Structure formats: C-alpha cells, structure tokens
Structure 1
Amino acid sequence: ATYDEACNIGYCSIMGATIGGWGGNYTTVSTLQEFVVAVAGTQTAVILVNGTLSGSTQVAIGSGKSILGLPGSALHGVSLSLAGSRNVILRNLRITNTTGHAISLSSSRSVWVDHCDLSTSSATSSLLSISHGSDYITVTQNFIHDHPSTAISVSQSSDNVAEDEGKFHITFIGNHVKNVGTAVSFGTGTGHLFNSYYENATMGINARNGADLLVESSVFEGSTTAIFSSDSAKPGKVTVVDVVLGEGINTAPKGEMNADSVPYPYDWAVLSSSVVKATVVKEAGAKLHY
C-alpha cells in the first residue's frame, strides 16, 4: 500500500473522487493530543498513526484527510466521528474498547474505510455507524468482530427523514464480520455487498425501510437467519447472487438491484463464493504495510 492511494471501487469512486489527504502535508502522530490536532479542520493532510493511542474519547475528523495506521498501531478507547465531513480515507486502523461507535459517519460524503480492525465487547452501539444522509461510501476489507450488538448499521433519521432522501449509496467489499449479534443492519438506501465472510453472526444482513440491496459472492457460517427484513414498517429488498447461506436462511423479499444497475465497474473484483472465505480471512483487517 502507499500513503496516497485513492478509492478506486464502489460508491466512493464516483460522484467526485475520494482522494483523502492526497497532496497535503504528512504528519506522524504518537500521542492522542497530537492526533486530535492533526485530524481536525479542513486542511488537506495525511496523518500516520504510530504506536498505541489510549483514551476514552471521540475524536472529530475533518474533511480532506487520509488517516493511516502504521503497522502495529492502535486506538484504544478512542473512537472517530465524521460529522459533515467530505473526502476522508481511513485505512489500517485498529480501534478497540470504545464505549460508543468505533467509527461514525453522520451527514458525510465520499468516505473510504479500508483494512480497519474494529472490536469491543462492552458497547451496545454498532461498531461502524453510517447515518443522517451520508452518501457515496465504500467499506472494504475490514475485520469487524467480537461485539454483542450490531457490527455495521446504516440508519435512517427518525426526526428528519428528508435528509436521507436519495442518499445512502454504500458499497461493502471483502469484509470479515465475526462473533457479533447482527452483521449488517441496512436501514435505508442502496447497498452493494460482495466478497464478504460472515462468521458466527447470529443474524446476518437485515434490509429495512425500503433499502434495496445486491448481495453477491459471500459466505455465511453460524447464522440462524442470514438475509432478512424486520424491525421496520416497510421491508427492504435483497437480490442474492452466488451466496452460501450455511445453516441460515434468506427470508427477505427479492430486490430490484442487479449488476446492470450498479453505476461503477466491479466485475474485475468479484470472487467466486468458493474462495471468499479463505481470501477474506487472509486479507481483511489492519494488515497493510507501507
């Protein structure tokens, strides 16, 4: 991997490039105080996290940032909040023991979350939260695990539905979700999920509130219900292609999305479900070297 890679697949690769801090100054941070200062504001920058930064806090991430964890680095008890942020790349970050969301995106656009490792046994909030009309997001090759509640939530605003209208275009690729209550709760919008391995997620993918999903080339093991729609007045819909359900079942209404309706090229990246498990276990998580 290189420090200046841009998002090249999924929804964060269209409607304006997601290049993060490309072209900005490079800063290496080794303390929480340095980190908080470096990631704030809208100055374009590449921030390299060195070592373990510990605390019990949520850090605001400004627009135009690439935040990259160096090998062996970690954020312990430190969560990341993107509120109204644009053009942000989060890569190779290990985030543990947060009391709320490990990463939250609210009213944010053009964000790439790649090769991160998210876990906590204590919080009831989802580990990755995408809310309040966030749009054009790609989430790739992350290891999201050991959490009693929902791993990934895409949530509709209960108090301001208008801000969500036509938003929430999100791609999930190559993620390993393990030992969680629910793998993905997709509360509204358009989702494309492929090349992923869901291991011991009691419940798999929940499509709610009219969400339209395309789920391809994925494997479920240890889920009682792999793909479903519940907890909303209006059900979601799911198109399923080359998915191994394991012991689980698919009870979701059939969706309208298909390969032709995906607005970016991706056929070059799709794996056969027969190799997804081995590939994802090998590659997902904070395993990048620069």
Structure 2
Amino acid sequence: MRERVPRAFHMTDVQNVGPRRFSGPRLPAARGWSILHIGYQYYYWVRKGSSSIRSNGCEISYPFLGPATPMRSAIFAIALTALSVSASLVKRATVNDIATLGYATLNGGTTGGSGGPSTTVSTLDALTTAVAGNAKKIVLISGTITGDAVVLIGSNTTVIGKTGSSLVGVGLRVLNETNVIIRNVKISKVLAPGDAIGVQSSHQVWVDHADLSSDRDHDKDFYDGLLDITHGVTGITVTNSKLYTHWKASLIGHSDSNGAEDVAITVTMALNWWFNLNSRTPSFRFGHGHIFNSVYDSNDDGINTRDGAQLLIENNVWSNATKAIKTDDGGFAVAIGNDFGGATNTAPVGNFTVPPYPRTLLATADVRASVVATAGQTLAF
C-alpha cells in the first residue's frame, strides 16, 4: 500500500511497522514522535526493521528504543486512524527530476538534462568541461572543488551536488542559455565580480535546494551576489534554498536604466530560508515576482520592490527584522497571509494577485518548521 504524504515526521520506534506510506494531519510530538517537516513535497518511506527514513532522496537516521511498548503502539495506532489513502504514487528525488512549481513550469517547462547521460566530476577542470555545450546531460559534483572561477553552464543541463559536496570560490553562471536545472549545490565565498549563482539573458531555469553563503567579515563589495537574476530572464523558479551570511543576497533586474529588457522578468521564489543578510532579499526591478512560504530571519533589510516591479508575496514569516517589504524606487507588492513579526510593509499595493500557474500554499503557521528543516543541500544523490 502506498499513500501520499503531505505531512512528514521523524519516528524513533517503528519496529512493528510494515512498508507503508503515510498521509494526513500533523502527528503528535509525544513519546517517540517529533515533527521533522510539514509540507507537501516530502515523502517518508518507513521499512520494517530499518534504521532510516527516506524522504525524496533524503535519508534521516533514527535510533531504535527497543521493543515496541503498548504506549508507543497506541500512539502509532491513533496516528494511523487519521491517515487518508491517495491513489497517486510518489517518487524519491532523482537526477531526472524536472521543475514542477512556478514560472519554470511554463513555456514548455524546465527539464534540464533529464534523460541524458550522467557524469560525476570532482575537479574544476572536469566540471567546466562537463557542463559546457547544449547537448542534454546530467552532471553530478562530488567532494569539494576550490578555486577562483565562474563556470558557464550550457543549455539542457542538470547540475546536481552529491551529498557533502561543495564549491568554494567557484560560482555557476547561466548566460544566454535555456532549460537548466541546478540542484543540491553548496556554494560559498565566490569573489566579486562573480556570483554564487548568476542567471543572465536566459530562460527556463530551476534552482532547487541550493546552499549559498559567504561571510560578513569583509567589505560589502568583496563578494557580489549569492543569486543574481538579470537581463530579461524569464521562467525562473528558486525553491527549497538557503541564502545566508552575506551582504548583497539576490539582485533581480540589472539596473534602473534596463527596464526595456527587464520588464519581461518572471521569477518564482518559494520555500526558501534567508538569514543574516544585509540587503537584497531580494531586490526586484521591473518584472513580476511571486514569493511565498519563505522564512526571513535577522536580516538588515527587507524585500525591495523597485522600478514598477509587481510582486505577489504570500504566507511568509519574518523574525528579528524591522523591514519586511519596502520600495525605494516605485515598486509594488500584494502581500497576503504573511507574519511580519513586527516588521513593516511600506510598499504600495500592486495589481499582481494571481500567478499564471497552480500552487499549494503552506499555512503561515507551518512555514518555519517546514522550511528550516529542509532548505539547502538536504537531498541525497
């Protein structure tokens, strides 16, 4: 029996549980139960006698507490009574996954290198060669690659960071390309003028489960952006990512004088965690942006809507902040269901109220637990 799992959990005693998938309401945090994730994208597979739970490619180890007690069995039985069966089957994360959320699903979708040959790289030279060109391909990064470089990614490419991999001082750039997926990468300390991830003059790009950071010990211009999206890009989705400890996090739209090109920009940002950032969370010029189900902690500045940008901002959460949403240069925002945590929203109300694609929103109260548990390089490949 297989069941959809919109809500997931971490169990400490499942010896009496046969292979089963679960769905339903949040399970009780009591005697052997603790909530690990609340969301609609993660699925847990529990095996009898196993010591791990798999979740879309993530494996979470847990200890056995000995033979099941009547109390533990009772808790589990109570939980099962609330579960509902769905006929749909759910896959774990794979190298062939395609974009399923946001603007990246439009205009033919974003498939990257799905179905193409796979190669694993562990050096800068091998990475640079493997991701070049427009042939369909999947490139997996293994280990730590260091350098002072920005690697250009060709069209029809999926780039995946394997568990524990990282790029230090090495950024990724999508320039004049289309149909690119970047998943599960950890990138840090890319020196200016490079960005950790840069997308320019490109279309149909999905960034998922990225871990992007630097430090704030240096001057603000020592590094550039963590995730810059500029020059008329369209069909961009950024999900399940972590951006932190940096000065200028994410610039969307090139400059105040580039409106003729950047008015076309379309970006979805969902289920991301932004923290310990000075500015650009993001700074958004001209185009349309949909930002939802994200967490903002201890940032010095808020979402900045500029130069006529139209933003739809739904069910996000802020803490330890004074500014949640603002405008310096005539941007607009429709803000719905957010928890500003005492921070301000000073942006004029815009006209972007419904995105051109379906979406399922987490309840605002569930956003923090869901996002903090899963954002960043948390998939297993």
Matching residue within 121, 131, 144 for 2:230: 131
Maintained 8 Å contact 1:202/1:222: no
Deviations 1:213-250 (A, max 9, x none): 010010011221110000x3xx1111111101113100
Aligned partner letter, 2:282: V
1:289 aligns with 2:380: yes
1:257 aligns with 2:355: no
CA distance in 1, matches of 2:258, 2:317: 35
TM-score, structure 2 normalization? 0.72
Q: Flag structure 2 segments of 5+ consecutive residues without an equivalent.
A: 1-92
Matching residue within 174, 178, 193 for 2:275: 178
CA distance in 2, matches of 1:184, 1:285: 17
Structure 1 partner of 2:213: 119
Matching residue within 51, 59, 63 for 2:143: 51
CA distance in 1, matches of 2:223, 2:115: 38
Change (3 A) 1:159 1:249: closer
CA distance in 2, matches of 1:30, 1:108: 27
Structure 1 partner of 2:325: 227
Maintained 8 Å contact 1:136/1:169: yes
The alpha carbon displacement at 1:204 in A equals: 1.3
Report the secondary structure of 2:338's partner residue: strand
After superposition, residues 184-203 of structure 1 pair within 5 angstroms as: 184-203=282-301
CA distance in 1, matches of 2:334, 2:256: 26
Structure 2 partner of 1:109: 203
Matching residue within 225, 230, 241 for 1:142: 241
1:71 aligns with 2:133: no
CA distance in 2, matches of 1:153, 1:71: 28
1:271 aligns with 2:366: no
CA distance in 1, matches of 2:262, 2:344: 30
Tell me how many residue pairs correspond in the alignment.
281
Deviations 1:190-225 (A, max 9, x none): 000000000111111000000000100100112211
Maintained 8 Å contact 1:150/1:185: no
Q: Flag structure 1 segments of 5+ consecutive residues without an equivalent.
A: none
Structure 2 partner of 1:155: 253
Aligned partner letter, 2:278: G
Report the secondary structure of 1:203's partner residue: coil
Q: Higher relative contact order at CA 8 Å, sep ≥6: structure 1 or structure 2?
A: 1
CA distance in 1, matches of 2:167, 2:113: 20
1:280 aligns with 2:371: yes
CA distance in 2, matches of 1:243, 1:157: 28
The alpha carbon displacement at 1:124 in A equals: 4.1
Structure 1 partner of 2:340: 245
Change (3 A) 1:76 1:161: same
Matching residue within 299, 308, 311 for 1:213: 311
* Cα RMSD for the two superposed structures: 1.2
Maintained 8 Å contact 2:174/2:200: yes
The alpha carbon displacement at 1:187 in A equals: 1.4
CA distance in 2, matches of 1:139, 1:164: 18
Report the secondary structure of 1:33's partner residue: helix
Deviations 1:1-26 (A, max 9, x none): 10000001100001111000012110
Deviations 1:134-181 (A, max 9, x none): 11100001000000x22111023456543224x111000000001001
Aligned partner letter, 2:311: L
Maintained 8 Å contact 2:198/2:229: yes
CA distance in 2, matches of 1:247, 1:164: 32
Q: Give the share of equivalent positions with the same residue, in percent.
A: 40
Report the secondary structure of 1:238's partner residue: strand
TM-score, structure 1 normalization? 0.94
The alpha carbon displacement at 1:255 in A equals: 1.4
